Structure 1
Amino acid sequence: MDPRIREHAETIVDHSTDIAEGDDVIVSAPPVASDLVVALFEVLGDRGANPVSLNADERAKRAFLRASEGFETPSHEQALMDETDAFIHLRATENATETGDVDPETTAAYSVAQQPIREERLSKRWCLTQFPAPANAQLAGMSTEAYENFVWDAINKDWGAQREFQDQMVEILDPAEEVRIVSGEGTDVTMSVAGNTTLNDYGEKNLPGGEVFTAPVPDSVEGSVFFDKPLYHQGREITDVALEFAGGEVVSHSAGQNEDLLTEVLSTDEGARRLGELGIGMNRDIDRFTYNMLFDEKMGDTVHMAVGMAYDDCVGEGGEVNESAVHVDMIVDMGAESRIEVDGEVVQRNGTFRFEDGFEA
């Protein structure tokens, strides 16, 4: 076994989820990630934990979704999540478009039924990470070996140093009142973050980490955003997403490809038409776009915004939490002709932060 797999497993158990003796742990993974599951069970055994494995098979999920006519929250799955101490989910796929022929309305209905389980999972210690499977390498346009190196360079790193680097942005954003994002001709959007909390993601709940993020005040978002990076959602690629906000809501939208899927996302529920997250990518080891949001949203010189659910931990006491059954991240390239303003002051220009060498105000 590649020793980097064992290192990955140790990072998940010790850094990301802080597993202790006696902890009950769910490991959810597809078959192609079995090497990392084996390594995890070995490390969890060393720590005296009690793991159980769930098979997250995309082919099986596709078959279920296409065969079902309606969904209810499964009580046995809910009970399992209620009782666990920690949840570890491994992403990896043998076919990146496996669920591409599932009707978007079906997927949206399934997401709504799963919402109580998802909310319970988010209340636990949890970690979402990636195993470098060949199909993910293919989607990224990379050889399997190159993709493995890319994944483990982004994951097996000094997270203490990364935390210190990102803390500099947290100190700017956490006390802020208003943020403005400008990029090219298509993006000029403002939002209030007053009273909300900025979190430092240094490889705990998401591995890799490499972002700072907060929640916009739901009704404060005004302006337009052009997401120049594509995304894969439900096994389909959505490109050139443009959103127009007024009073916090998406009042118009378009996409160059699969606009119908974007429409279904925004129509899931009332909260799906509002922003639930503003994130700033700061992981310099993620230096290329790979069609994998777990990595792409952390990429240096990017900003991402998510329509839908806001994380409770980002919303200040007494603030409004945007609730939704979806949380869909989309990315803006901030490498050129761009800036981030916080309370009227430029804090990043063309991808360089004011605390980095080469910054020009």
Structure 2
Amino acid sequence: MDPRVREHARTIVEHSTKIEPDDDVMVRAPPVAEDLAVAVAERIGEIGASASVSLRSARANRAYLRSSDPEDFDTPDHLLAMMEETDAFVLVKGSRNTAEMSDVPTETLSAYQRVRQPLQDARMGKRWVGTQFPAPGDAQKAEMSTEEYEEFVYDAVNKDWDAQREHQQQMVEILDPADEVRIVSGETTDLTMSVEGMKTVNDYGEKNLPGGEVFTAPVPDSVEGEVLFDKPLVRHGREIEDAYLRFESGEVVDHDAAKNADLLTSVLDTDEGARRLGELGIGMNRDIDRFTYNMLFDEKMGDTVHLAVGRAIRESVPEGRPYNQSATHVDMIVDMSEDSYIEVDGEVVQRNGRFRFEDGFEG
């Protein structure tokens, strides 16, 4: 087995989820990522914990969804019971075909998400991590050879996470006590939001592997202005290009896209919370140096900001602060490398992708 796979597995088990003896651990992976599932299970066994491994087929899930009536969907109580009894959850992503779900009706996918929200809620209360196996389908989507993509993934995943945490903590200390954030990019994005009383989280490879961002939650009713997401979004195998949102009093009141605008509409129509922002994230992983059509990596790029419509991340919303609830959470990216800046309480803290604590910053 590739030693980089074993290192990846050790990071998942020891750093991201901190598995302990006697833990009950769920591991879900696609068949193409079996090597990583094997390595994770092996390390769990060495520690003395219990592993339940599921190799989940995207083709089978597509077949189920296409043959089902959405009105028959219900929360799978057996899976919910298992999640509730689990101590830690490992989700591995990887595709032979990244467009496998592209011909499932959007209304079916939205209905499926809604009934499975209790599983998501239960998972959020556990130690969990989502990560990526460098599968051929993902390499093809990123327009790389399989070998090149493997190197890209492992450079981003197998790194010094303590050093990354210290680098990102500088941005946490700026954003955490802040009241207002403004994001400006060219003539197409000028967005303000309150983050007063919200918590800024330092993501250094725990719940997301790779990590490499700091994130918080906007006050749901505070978002004003417009934003053009100039990086594509891949949703269920289909690309949304140049997604545009305009906000008033926190709610999306106008939207469009250059490609697959109907898919963007279906996201926003998931429920009431899907028309509000649940996350503001700032990418800080410099080892992710190119766009690969994979949000797990793309949102961590150092010259980007991402915003998510839908469910807020509970960790970023302290008790008593307004929490945006939704069955969906969809990240979209703004390139901040040129003609762009981030203001925090009126002070520019990033300009053209460089932070004020980095060399090359121009205030």
Deviation at 1:236, TM superposition (A): 0.7
- Equivalent of residue 245 in structure 1, options 239, 242, 247: 247
Distance 1:32 1:172 in 2: 41
* Amino acid paired to 1:61: N
1:316 CA displacement: 2.5
After superposition, where does 1:138-287 map in structure 2 within 5 Å?
138-287=140-289
Give runs of aligned pairs for residues 53-92 of structure 1, distance below 5 A.
Answer: 53-70=53-70, 71-92=73-94
Matched residue, 2:17: 17
Equivalent residue of 1:268, what SS? coil
> What is the CA-CA distance between 1:317 and the residue it aligns to?
2.8
- Residues 230 and 335 in structure 2, CA contact (< 8 A), matched pair in contact too: yes
Alignment-derived partner of residue 300 in structure 1: 302
Aligned AA for 1:159? W
Equivalent AA in structure 2 for residue 294 of structure 1: L
Q: CA deviation at 1:76?
A: 0.4
Counterparts of 1:288 and 1:210, CA distance in 2: 14
Q: Deviations over 1:110-135 (max 9, x none)?
A: 00000001110111000000000000
Letter in 2 for 1:53: V
CA distance in 1, matches of 2:343, 2:66: 46
SS of 2:150's partner is helix
Amino acid at match of 1:183: S
- Where 1:307 maps in the other structure, the secondary structure is strand
Q: Distance in 2 between matches of 1:274 and 1:317?
A: 19
2:172 partner SS: helix
In structure 2, what is the equivalent of residue 334 of structure 1?
A: 336
How far, CA to CA, are the matches of 1:335 and 1:167 in structure 2? 21
How many Å separate the matches in 1 of 2:225 and 2:153? 35
Instruction: Give the counterpart of 2:130 among 128, 133, 136.
Output: 128
Residue type of the alignment partner of 1:229:
K
What do residues 274-313 of structure 1 show as CA deviations (whole Å, max 9, x unaligned)? Answer: 0000000000000000000000000110000000000111
Q: What code does the residue aligned with 2:156 have?
A: A
1:93 is aligned to 95
Q: Residue 357 of structure 1: SS of its match in structure 2?
A: coil
Structure 1 residue runs without a partner (length 5+): none
Following superposition, the deviation at residue 61 of structure 1 comes to: 0.7
Give the count of matched residue pairs.
361
2:196 counterpart letter in structure 1: A
Q: Which amino acid aligns with 2:186?
A: G
* Structure-2 separation of matches of 1:16 and 1:316: 22
- Point out the more displaced range, 65-74 or 204-213: 65-74
SS at match of 2:305: strand
TM normalised by structure 2 equals 0.99
Matches of 1:193 and 1:41 in 2, distance apart?
Answer: 40
Percentage of pairs with the same residue:
67
Q: Is the 8 A contact 2:41 2:53 kept in 1?
A: no
Cα distance in 1 for partners of 2:57, 2:177 equals: 43
Question: Aligned equivalents of 1:87 and 1:56: distance in 2?
Answer: 14
Q: In structure 2, what is the Cα distance between the partners aligned to 1:301 and 1:82? A: 38
Give, in angstroms, the shift of residue 358 of structure 1. 1.1
Deviation of 1:184 (Å): 1.1
CA contact (8 A) 2:349 2:356 kept: yes
1:162: Cα distance to partner?
Answer: 0.1
Unpaired stretches in structure 2, ≥5 consecutive residues = none
The Cα shift of 1:6 comes to: 0.2
SS of 2:116 mapped into structure 1: helix
Question: Greater CA deviation, 54-63 or 331-340?
Answer: 54-63
Map of 1:316 onto structure 2? 318
RMSD of aligned residue pairs (Cα, Å): 0.5
Deviation for aligned residue 1:245:
0.4
**Equivalent residue of 2:178, what SS?**
coil
Alignment of 1:38-57 (within 5 A): 38-57=38-57
User: Distance between the aligned counterparts of 2:43 and 2:142, measured in 1?
Assistant: 30
Q: Which amino acid aligns with 2:152?
A: F
- The 5 Å alignment of 1:100-111 reads 100-111=102-113
Kept in 1, the 8 Å contact 2:23–2:87? The answer is: yes
Q: CA deviation at 1:234?
A: 1.1
Q: For 1:78, what is the secondary structure of its paired residue?
A: helix
CA distance in 1, matches of 2:233, 2:61: 20
Report the Cα offset of residue 53 of structure 1.
Answer: 1.0
Cα distance in 2 between the residues matched to 1:356 and 1:232: 31
Residue 55 of structure 1 and its aligned partner are, at CA, apart by 2.3
Shift of 1:315: 1.1
Superimposed CA distance per residue, residues 187-243 of structure 1 (whole angstroms, 9 cap, x where no aligned partner): 000000000000000000000000000000000000000000001101111101000
Counterpart code for 2:10: E
3-state DSSP of counterpart to 1:359: coil
Bigger drift between 203-212 and 48-57 goes to: 48-57
TM-score w.r.t. structure 1 length?
Answer: 0.99
What is the CA–CA distance in structure 1 between the aligned matches of 2:57 and 2:326, rounded to whole Å? 25
Letter in 2 for 1:226: L
| Paired letter, 2:20 | A
